[in-house]
């Protein structure tokens, strides 16, 4: 339950997912200006639809989506694009217990979990300054057709 989350856990989760993301972006901006680089952050569908068991994590991913939206205006003036990819459940070590079976995959239209390459394909597109040149401040859900939006 989210109300049972201790303060130290909130601090750690927000430090890793929001504050450190911001600090890395802040440090990278001068280099990105020189190289016409762009930024793609990885949030989660949990940022759109909070998951009870990981409430603080969900809220931190909502904050990350907001951070990207806020930074997109400032960075656009520096010719830097910034976007967020919000995966659903991906077959990784992090999601290990969830993906052992597909019994909860019915919440997604495709009724399965994602392979890492399916997420990296979207990130690859967003990183391409030619094909994605007019895309900034967006949050892309990559979740097999789940209905996840704020």
Annotation says 140 is catalytic:
no
Q: Output the CA torsion 113→65→46→139 (10° steps).
A: -30
Beta bridge partners of 38: 81
Query: CB under 8 Å, gap of 24 or more: what pairs does 130-133 form?
Result: 132/38, 132/81, 132/83, 133/81
Catalytic residue from among 31, 57, 113, 140: 57
* DSSP H stretches of helix in the chain: 7-14, 20-35, 55-76, 96-99, 116-127
Contact assessment for residue 34 and residue 79, using Cβ atoms and an 8 Å cutoff: no
In this structure, what token pair is assigned to residue 68?
Answer: 């990207």
What is the end-to-end Cα distance of the chain in Å, rounded? 21
- For the annotated catalytic residues, the residue numbers are 57
């Amino acid at each position: 339950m989210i109300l049972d989350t201790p303060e130290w856990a909130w601090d750690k989760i927000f430090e890793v997912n929001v504050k450190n993301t911001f600090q890395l972006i802040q440090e990278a901006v001068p280099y990105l200006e020189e190289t016409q680089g762009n930024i793609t952050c990885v949030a989660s569908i949990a940022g759109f639809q909070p998951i009870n068991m990981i409430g603080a994590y969900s809220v931190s991913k909502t904050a990350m989506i907001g951070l990207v939206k806020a930074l997109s205006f400032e960075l656009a003036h520096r010719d830097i694009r910034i976007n967020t990819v919000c995966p659903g459940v991906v077959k990784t070590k992090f999601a290990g217990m969830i993906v052992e079976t597909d019994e909860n995959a019915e919440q997604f239209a495709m009724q399965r979990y994602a392979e890492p390459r399916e997420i990296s394909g979207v990130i690859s597109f967003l990183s391409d300054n030619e094909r994605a040149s007019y895309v900034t401040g967006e949050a892309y859900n990559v979740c097999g057709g789940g209905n996840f939006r704020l």
